[in-house]
Amino acid sequence: MSMDTTVEQVEGAVPITILALNGELDASNFRELIDTVKRLYDEGARKLIIDLADLRFMASSGLVALHSIVQVMHGQDPLDPEGGWQALHSLGGDAQTEVRLAGPQPAVERVLQRTGLDRMFVVHADRHTAIDAASAAA
Amino acid sequence: MRVAVGSAADLDLDAVVAPFRGLEPGLCLAIEAADGTPIARTTLAPSVGEVVTREIPGGALAGGRIRVWGDASGGGLGSALAESLAAALAAAPITDLAIAAQQAADARRLEEELAHGRRLQRSFVSLIPPDVPGYDIAAHYEAAREVGGDFFDLFRLRKRGRPLSVVIADVSGKGIAAALLMAFVRPLLHAAIDHTTGPAQALERTNKILVEERRSSLFITALAARLDVRTGHLCLANAGHEPPLIVRADGSPPIWLEGAGPLVGGFPRLDVPEISTDLEPGDLALLYTDGITDARATSGERFDEWRLLAALESSRGGTAQEVIATISDSVCAFQEPAPPADDITIVAIRRLPAA
């Protein structure tokens, strides 16, 4: 129903933006999440870690948000969540590294696995390993 | 609503009534003082919408209110419209009446469109399962207020042994777009199942069409299964959908048949694994959509999988229809008083115990 987001920056060779989600991601708020990432991208964010540690629940609309977020971070526009799947095709089968996921709870991880969305993302155990990996790759 | 005029002299009754003309024949308006004393009452005649009664006694209107309702013939306001009108009027000062009336008209149009969508969607979903000797099959489909994209399909294949094909799917998103994509995908999947060697290949082909034709503006989770009705052998492929539950006749806890590929329409290839099990006499297979597990109580709690298991446990040994009724009643009671936020679909297939 409700979800809070917190944004943190990690400075380095390439700055990393960490977006932490707290609550439930569903049809009522997934568009806001996409807008938040759009704003972060416009402000210059190019490496994003989505910290899922405090996300208790993710509905199928959350998958649409995650996909759209990958689009945004690849500089693609417009962000019509109902028109976005073509870009995913063009990304091919490999997981991209502009957006990383960190620390999903078992229920959220199961949704990612069940729907194959884990193919799109490198999923890290927690935000620290995600930061290390993103820094090393930069 | 509060009437924002100071006296009866300020009240232009025609202006008050005008926005409601053409909205609904048989509409009644009453303007009351704060203490409930009637100040004016109007009836809009069915065809011309004229004010036929008009009594405005003197006295201040400050703090008064306007009530709107249907006429005694019952031909006036539908309850949905009355509610939306009441909601629109609740916060509006008198000068905003035109806007309120417009909003009410829009709400009614939207309501009608949604009702059309629900009817359209329902017409695609045949609730009468095919007759398969030796099996007890039931299905339940309940559309959300804001049409979702659930569908299921049960049919006998034109192959040796006439296996039973079972499909359950959920188009992401809501509204007309989801209903239309559902209407597009359902026959596509049906034909693919009829012309391929197995469920995995059928899903792969459907995905290929959606991806290459670029028809997939939404994505779809789908489960396709084939049941050899002679042996009870159930073979299925799952593209991102909730896995089916198998309830054994031996009383062991229900198990999810895990193993899935990505959802349909999202990736160039699915590579969905084909998994299988055997339904022994008395065993039950339950397929469902996330409208069950994601159902939300007013407290914010989700129905979740454990409540589904509990409902399943309490209906163990019942007919397919009884199992489905227990689950849908349980979900309904859980989210009361709210209507379903998402479509709810359940299919239960029980192999009858050997006679």
Its ipTM equals 0.76
Question: How far apart, in whole angstroms, are the C-alpha atoms of residue B289 and residue B242?
Answer: 6
What is the count of structural domains for chain B? 2
Looking at the fold, whether B98 and B156 belong to one and the same domain comes out as no
Query: Which strand ranges, in their side-by-side order, compose the sheet holding A99-102?
Result: A3-10, A16-25, A48-58, A99-102, A122-124
Most A CBs within 10 Å: which of B215, B294, B303, as the mutation test of the A interface? B294
Q: Do A93 and B216 touch (CB under 8 A)?
A: no
Quote the CA–CA distance of B341 and B145 in Å, as a whole number: 7
Contact B150, B170 (CB under 8 A): yes
**For chain A, what is the domain count?**
1
Residue B262 lies inside a defined structural domain of this protein: yes
> Which residues are CB-contacts of B79 (< 8 A; sequence separation ≥ 6)?
none
- How far does B266 lie from chain A, in Å, by closest CA? 6
Q: Give the full edge-to-edge strand order of the sheet including B284-288.
A: B135-142, B344-351, B284-288, B245-247, B255-256
Instruction: State the pairing for strand pair A99-102/A48-58.
Output: parallel
B3 within some domain = no
Q: What's the pLDDT score for residue B103? A: 66
Lowest mean pLDDT among A41-55, B32-46, B175-189: B32-46
DSSP state of B261: B
Judge whether residue B53 has pLDDT over 50: no
Q: Are A38 and A8 in contact (CB under 8 A)?
A: no
Per-residue pLDDT at B55? 44
β-partners of residue B152 are: B168
Angle, alpha carbons A76-A79-A82 (nearest 5°): 125
pLDDT in tens, B270-299: 889 999 999 999 999 999 999 999 998 988
Q: What pLDDT sits at residue A60?
A: 80
Final residue in a domain of this structure, among B93, B116, B139? B116
Unique residue bearing structure tokens 């308006």: B29
Answer for the pair B69, B90: CB distance below 8 angstroms, yes or no: no
pLDDT digits (tens, 9 = 90+) for A91-125: 555 678 889 999 999 989 988 988 888 888 899 99
- Residue B184, CA distances (Å) to A104, A115, B171, B179, B268 in order: 34, 21, 11, 9, 19
In this structure, the answer to whether residues B153 and B71 fall within a common structural domain is no
State whether B180 and B80 are in the same domain: no
pLDDT digit string, tens, across residues B311-344: 999 999 899 999 999 999 999 999 988 888 788 9
B1 falls within a domain: no
CATH code at A13?
3.30.750.24
Contact A27/B at CB under 8 A: yes
How crowded is residue A17: how many other Cβ atoms within 10 Å of its Cβ? Answer: 22
% of chain B residues with pLDDT over 90: 41
End of a domain among B81, B116, B151? B116
**Residue A25 at interface with chain B, using a CB cutoff of 8 Å:** no
Interface residues from chain B to A (CB-CB < 8 Å): 170, 172-174, 177, 211, 214, 216-219, 221, 239-243, 260-263, 265-270, 290, 294, 296, 300, 302, 341
Is residue A116 less than 8 Å (CB to CB) from chain B?
yes
CATH number of B213's domain: 3.60.40.10
* Boundary (domain end) residue, out of B76, B94, B116: B116
For residue B24, the model assigns a pLDDT of 52
pLDDT tens digits for range B115-138: 777 777 677 666 678 889 999 999
Mapping DSSP to helix (H, G, I), strand (E, B) and coil, where does residue B350 land?
Answer: strand
| B213-231 b/e (C-beta count within 10 Å ≥ 16 → b) | eeebbbbbbbbbbbbbbee
Strand positions, DSSP E, chain B: 27-32, 38-43, 65-70, 135-142, 149-156, 164-171, 220-228, 233-239, 245-247, 255-256, 274-278, 284-288, 344-351
- Whether residue B268 sits in one domain with residue B194: yes
* Residue B48: pLDDT band with limits 50, 70, 90: very low
Chain B residue with CA closest to A23: the answer is B300
Interface test with B, best of A82, A90, A91 (most B CBs within 10 A): A82
Supply the pTM of this predicted model.
0.72
**How many angstroms away from the CA of A25 is the closest CA of chain B?**
12
Residue B137 domain boundaries: 125-351
Q: Which domain holds residue A115?
A: 3-137
List the beta bridge partners of residue B349: B137, B285
d(CA B315, CA B322): 7
* Range of weakest confidence among A129-138, B17-26, B124-133: B17-26
